[in-house]
């Protein structure tokens, strides 16, 4: 199928041709006609599948030049807001629409000037609500309201802000909700913001012919040493290392630098300027390794990632699929390596069983134990060869104290554990 077959208006189609868009992805082919026809749509597809164009192309079609703010896209992070706005600008280049980004960490004045001439707003819920409460933004003419990465906005606690923002919009607007995962906690938002919505879900399992997956066992004291061993052995072109908490993300990046691996951390606790600098360096190849949380990395267009390292395993299968889906894109091969300490095995088994992944075991030989700096004072002698409680006082899931669950059938020594997959 070609974009011409989707009956897209000529000026938008011309913009798509200029940026090299020829054939729609599955999520685009299935949702664009529904959105053009005015339906509310709930769209789910994996990271990198083209969700922005799926809602962005018909959104641009429905927006008129010079008629005030007609579309609002809410995103969970500043980086995703910026990225989405750039894509909408490309889609509307022949139409001359003005797209204004709204996010925190910067001054109000430039945004105020943009709001006066904008037809499309893309922003984070907190700053958008700030502008509404200050009387800077009028949403009475909104035609299309988009919740992008809706699942992550729920995770980040934006549900109440989104409710307050929506109250100022017309009841007959079109509502679009897009996400990579569809957890039960999203049900209220779907009921609240959509009416008779068309529910489109495309496959989220990565193409295993292009992605090779491996796992290896490691106890908590040797896990960082194993990571360094793997990164140096694989020598990735560009790599992403996923952790489950901000604190661990910072510690891993810091300790990788101590081992002469040029790594940077990205998560929601960094300043706007710092996060943009990290992403620019990664895009330009100045940095080869990014250590990230799921929330910070979601929706970001990061190309040419050759390796994914799962330092911690997420709790749900869809998050895992979106992590590994950041490599093996656009016909390129990729590799994903999951590192399993004791607390990771249950989640990993559920994930493998749900998607029936073909994941081979890596046998590690001659692993050299390395020091790990927790950043604490007075660690004492036991801190020299690695932290006393593994890597910081939290387990991979972020719970305090790394406590062992009673009744667990998983052996203490994960190297002796033989998974059933």
pLDDT tens column, 274-285? 877 887 888 788
Domain 211-416 of CATH type 3.40.50.300: yes
pLDDT, mean of residues 148-161: 89
Query: pLDDT at residue 381 above 50?
Result: no
Q: Whole-number mean pLDDT of the chain?
A: 85
Which pLDDT score is estimated for 389?
A: 36
pLDDT score of 50: 84
d(CA 248, CA 397): 10
How many contiguous H segments (helices) and E segments (strands) does the chain have?
15, 14
Per-residue confidence at 37, pLDDT binned at 50, 70, 90? very high
pLDDT at 379 over 60: no
Strands of the sheet with 211-217, listed across from one edge: 263-266, 289-292, 239-242, 307-310, 334-340, 211-217, 359-361
State pLDDT tens for residues 196-206. Answer: 999 998 866 56
The mean pLDDT of 186-204, rounded to a whole number, is 87
> How many Å apart are CA 198 and CA 216, to the nearest integer?
41
Q: What pLDDT is recorded for position 182?
A: 77
- Taking residues 225-248, what's their average pLDDT? 94
In sequence order, the β-bridge partners of residue 393 are none
Query: 3-201: which CATH architecture?
Result: 3-Layer(aba) Sandwich (3.40)
Looking at residue 308, what is its pLDDT?
Answer: 95
Q: Which residue matches tokens 């992590």?
A: 323
Mean pLDDT of 291-317: 83
Per-residue model confidence (pLDDT) at position 337 = 97
Q: Which residues pair with 212 in a beta bridge?
A: 335
Give mean pLDDT, residues 116-121: 97
Whole-angstrom Cα distance, residue 365 to residue 96? 59
pLDDT tier at 78 (50, 70, 90 boundaries)? Answer: confident
DSSP E strands in 252-333: the ranges are 263-266, 289-292, 307-310
pLDDT, mean of residues 379-404? 37
pLDDT in tens, 122-132: 999 999 999 99
Mean pLDDT of the region 307-334: 86
Q: pTM (2 decimals)? A: 0.66
The band of 158, judged by pLDDT with boundaries at 50, 70 and 90, is: very high
Q: Tell me the sheet residues that pair with 199.
A: 42
HEC letters along the chain:
CCHHHHCCCHHHHHHHHHCCCCCCCHHHHHHHHHHHCCCCEEEECCCCCCHHHHHHHHHHHHCCCCCCCCEEEECCCHHHHHHHHHHHHHHCCCCCCCEEEECCCCCCHHHHHHHCCCCEEEECHHHHHHHHHCCCCCCCCCCEEEEECHHHHHHCCCHHHHHHHHCCCCCCCEEEEEECCCCHHHHHHHHHHCCCCEEEECCCCCCCCCEEEEEEECCCCCHHHHHHHHHHHHCCCCEEEECCCHHHHHHHHHHHHHCCCCEEEECCCCCHHHHHHHHHHHHCCCCCEEEECHHHHCCCCCCCCCEEEECCCCCCHHHHHHHHCCCCCCCCCEEEEEEECHHHHHHHHHHHHHHCCCEEECCCCCCCCCCCCCCCCCCCHHHCCCCCCCCCCECCCCCECCCCCCCCCCCCCHHHCCCCC
Rounded-to-integer distance, Cα 252 and Cα 250, Å:
6
What H or E segment, with its residue span, contains residue 261?
none
Lowest mean pLDDT among 56-65, 95-104, 247-256, 288-297: 288-297
Residue 296: which pLDDT band, with cuts at 50, 70 and 90?
low
What percent of the chain shows pLDDT beyond 70?
85
Residue 114, number of CB atoms within 10 A of its CB: 15
CATH 3.40.50.300: which residues of the chain? 3-201, 211-416
Q: Comparing C-alpha atoms, which of 13, 27, 173 is closest to residue 92?
A: 13
């Amino acid at each position: 199928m070609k974009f011409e077959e989707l009956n897209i208006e000529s000026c938008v189609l011309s913009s798509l041709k200029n940026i090299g868009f020829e054939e729609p992805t599955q999520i685009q082919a299935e949702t664009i006609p529904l959105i053009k026809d005015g339906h509310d749509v709930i769209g789910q597809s994996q990271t990198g599948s083209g969700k922005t164009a799926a809602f962005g192309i018909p959104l641009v079609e429905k927006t008129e030049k010079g008629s005030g703010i007609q579309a609002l896209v809410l995103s969970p992070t500043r980086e995703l807001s910026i990225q989405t706005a750039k894509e909408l600008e490309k889609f509307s280049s022949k139409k001359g629409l003005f797209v204004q980004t709204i996010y925190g960490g910067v001054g109000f004045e430039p945004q105020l000037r943009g709001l006066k001439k904008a037809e499309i707003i893309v922003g984070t819920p907190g700053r958008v609500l700030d502008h509404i409460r200050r009387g800077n933004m009028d949403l009475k003419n909104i035609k299309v309201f988009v919740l992008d990465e809706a699942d992550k906005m729920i995770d980040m606690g934006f549900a109440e802000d989104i409710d307050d923002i929506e109250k100022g919009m017309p009841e007959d607007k079109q509502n679009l909700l897009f996400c990579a995962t569809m957890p039960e906690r999203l049900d209220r938002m779907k009921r609240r913001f959509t009416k008779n919505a068309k529910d489109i879900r495309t496959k989220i399992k990565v193409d295993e012919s292009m992605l090779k997956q491996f796992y290896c066992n490691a106890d908590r004291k040797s896990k960082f040493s194993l990571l360094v061993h793997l990164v140096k052995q694989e020598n990735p072109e560009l790599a992403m290392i996923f952790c489950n908490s901000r604190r661990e993300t910072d510690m891993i990046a810091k300790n990788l630098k101590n081992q002469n691996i040029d790594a940077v951390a990205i998560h929601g606790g960094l300043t706007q300027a710092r996060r943009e600098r990290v992403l620019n360096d990664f895009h330009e190849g100045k940095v080869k390794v990014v250590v990230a949380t799921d929330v910070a990395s979601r929706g970001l267009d990061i190309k040419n990632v050759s390796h994914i390292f799962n330092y911690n395993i997420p709790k749900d299968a869809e998050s895992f699929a979106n992590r590994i889906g950041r490599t093996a894109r656009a016909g390129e091969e990729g590799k994903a390596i999951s590192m399993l300490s004791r607390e990771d095995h249950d989640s990993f088994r559920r994930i493998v069983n749900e998607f029936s992944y073909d994941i081979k075991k890596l046998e590690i030989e001659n692993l050299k134990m390395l020091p790990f700096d927790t950043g604490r004072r007075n660690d004492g002698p036991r801190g020299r060869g690695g932290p006393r409680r593994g890597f910081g006082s939290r387990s991979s899931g972020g719970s305090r104290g790394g406590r062992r669950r009673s009744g667990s059938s998983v052996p203490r020594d994960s190297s002796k554990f033989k998974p059933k997959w």
